[in-house]
Amino acid sequence: MKVKKYAASSMTEAMKQIRAELGNEAVILSSKPIFSGGFLGFFRKRSIEVVAAVDPQSASGPVPVRKEKQRRQPAAMAQTKNETVRVNADDNANQAAQISKDDQAGKSSEDILKQIADVKDMIKGLNANAGIQTTYPAPLQEIYKLLVTQEFEPQLVQEMMANLLEKWFADKGQPADSTLREWLKDEIAAILTRSSIQETKFEKKYVSFVGPTGVGKTTTLAKIAADSMLKQHKKVAFITTDTYRIAAIDQLQTYAKILNVPIEVAYNLEDFKKAADRFAHYDLVFIDTAGRNFRDQKYVAELQKIIDFDKDLETYLVLSLTSKQKDMNEIYSQFSGVRIKQLIFTKADETSTYGAIVNLINSYKIGAAFITDGQNVPDDLKQIEPRIIANMIVEGLQ
């Protein structure tokens, strides 16, 4: 028996080659689609690989072209390990004609939707453990590497890559690199938008800032206060409860002098209430708190002994982008006893990894107010908007 493998752009072309070389008595042992470009390469170019065989003693040679179509009973089907199909001229002509029609007209919308669904299901079903790499067409592989480098949660990576594959398929695998980047920005912005991220507006008079030591709460408070004064023309005052470090009081007092705003120091809840009453006629009263070890469970309890969180007050959790994702999750959990309105991210200029912003907002369904990227007051302060964060992640801090 003579066995030969054929590769063609379509089943129609494969059948022509088989009939021309092996004749009508050839049988198809197997057929499968093959894709250029590696795994998932069918988004680039699809072809067919067919293995056919013929018994030389029964081969009839090439099939002459017939002018009239003759009706013939289907040839008997030969059964092997892989079901084989007798190459019958009429039957295969009908099959080839249909395949050719599909090739020329393109896959039906149902087929396309099914392929998209299959690809998305496959991506979502991959191992979500860190370090497991998935292979994509080369341009999308670069996008995948970017998302991993930016330390996005695996489920978000899978979600975005599945959506990008869908767009890639719809674009026939030919988008420019700039188009891919814009698609990725759209995906990131969409995640942030669905998490109700919106423009920050202080809805209450008293605004407190909490968080662990070293995240830059005091400087961030000063930036926001200066921004409120200069851009919104608000009348501002300070209260500090950070009596744990003398230097912290001095720092806020220095900012108070520069901005020409009053400041009170509260050592206990009674002091806090007196200070709050003194500033009752101010538009905004910003409250600084001590930075302590976030793993100390007594920290939040001590805060509640000094600050009246039941007052007309809203609280912002300040997190440093230089921290590990795991630590930020623990910090958020530690402060779950305090009603957190939004997050503030600091030290964006000290890192090139910003995926944690999206991870936290998506995981806790909480908004984010500001991001800081330097020490200048109030210049190095930006309100968080979905498109700003998407640009930072894709293009880098600018």
Residue 131, pLDDT above cutoff 50 = no
pLDDT of residue 397: 64
Q: What does the pLDDT look like over 166-189, one tens digit per residue?
A: 888 887 777 888 899 999 999 999
First vs last C-alpha separation in the chain:
68
Higher-pLDDT residue of 154, 40: 154
Q: Which of 15-19, 215-219, 307-311 has the lowest mean pLDDT?
A: 307-311
β-pairing, 206-210 vs 313-320, is: parallel
In the chain, the percentage of residues whose pLDDT exceeds 70 is: 70
Q: How many residues does the chain have?
A: 398
What pLDDT was estimated at residue 70? 46
Q: What average pLDDT score do residues 293-298 get?
A: 68
102 compared with 271, residue with greater pLDDT? 271
Looking at residue 238, what is its pLDDT?
96
Q: Which of 38-42, 43-47, 337-341, 360-364 has the highest mean pLDDT?
A: 360-364
- Given the structure tokens 């309890």, which residue do they identify? 301
Relative to beta strand 263-265, strand 381-383 is unpaired
Per-residue confidence band for 1, with pLDDT thresholds at 50, 70 and 90 = low
Q: Do residues 303 and 339 make contact, with C-beta atoms less than 8 angstroms apart? A: no
Q: What is the pTM of this model?
A: 0.65
In 3D, which of 304, 318, 349 has the Cα closest to residue 212? 318
Instruction: Examine the pLDDT at 85 and tell me if it is beyond 60.
Output: no
Indicate the pLDDT class of residue 73, thresholds 50, 70 and 90.
very low
pLDDT for 371 equals 92
pLDDT tens-digit readout, 355-366? 999 999 999 888
The structural domains of the chain, with segments of one domain joined by +, span: 2-105, 110-175, 206-395
214-219-220-225 Cα dihedral, nearest 10 degrees: 160
233-287 confidence digits (pLDDT tens): 999 999 998 877 667 788 899 999 999 999 999 888 899 899 999 999 999 999 9
Residues in a beta bridge with 254: none
Q: How much is the pLDDT for 47?
A: 76
Q: Considering only CA atoms, which of 72, 82, 67, 68 is closest in space to residue 24?
A: 72
pLDDT at 305: 76
CB 217 within 8 A of CB 295: no
Checking if the pLDDT of 389 tops 70, the result is yes
Which of 69, 109, 72, 107 lies closest to 87, judged by CA?
72
Nearest to 13 by CA among 37, 43, 48: 48
Q: Mean pLDDT over all residues of the chain?
A: 77
Rounded CA gap, 124 and 121, in Å?
Answer: 5
Higher pLDDT, 163 or 80: 163
| CATH architecture of the domain with range 206-395 | 3-Layer(aba) Sandwich (3.40)
Q: Which residues pair with 271 in a beta bridge?
A: none
Q: Please say if the pLDDT value at position 81 is more than 50.
A: no
